[in-house]
Amino acid sequence: MDFQFVYDRRLKRHFLELGGEYTVVANLFNDELAPAGMSISVLQTLREQLLKNSGVLIGQEWSVNIEAEELTIYHNNYAEHLENLVTERDEDEDMRQEKTEDESEYDVFLGDHILRCGKDDLIYLIDKWIDFIQE
């Protein structure tokens, strides 16, 4: 996961830039946390919550489902699709190739709103962001 932290001097706000499928993570941070000030205390609270083995962190726009060492980050408008998408991503390659073009385009669309990632990856990102803010 390649990331870049940005401080916009004009807006006096920190932002996170991530590419590819990880734009979901950037959206979580930029849309959900940045309006709260993206303070170190906000990030530390999120970090502590992620260390739990299970639970759901529900935000106004984005939420995080914690399942042991895996996280599912999703836009709240797509929560109803969460179970189906996670199941489909776990299917074997042969089943994925059998999907129609419309089904594949729909998965890509949902992929912009739902992401599964390792808990350690997000905690690492939070730690680096705290370091960036402190500089």
- Rounded to two decimals, the pTM is 0.76
Q: Residues 28, 50: contact at Cβ < 8 Å? A: no
Could you tell me the residue range of the domain that residue 120 belongs to? Answer: 3-134
Distance from C-alpha of 66 to C-alpha of 51, rounded to nearest angstrom: 9
Query: Tokens 């890509």, residue?
Result: 108
Q: Residues 14, 126: contact at Cβ < 8 Å? A: no
Task: Indicate the number of domains in the chain.
Answer: 1
> Measuring CA to CA, which residue among 79, 69, 73 is closest to residue 57?
73
pLDDT of residue 39: 79
pLDDT of residue 112: 77
Q: Which residues contact 22 (CB under 8 A, 6 or more apart)?
A: 1, 3, 115, 117
Kindly state the average pLDDT of the residues 51-70: 91
Q: Give residue-wise pLDDT tens across range 24-41.
A: 999 998 888 776 666 788
Q: Residues 75, 61: contact at Cβ < 8 Å? A: yes
> Measuring CA to CA, which residue among 30, 2, 47, 14 is closest to residue 132?
14
Number of H helices and E strands in the chain, helices first, is: 6, 6
- Here the tokens at position 72 are 């599912």
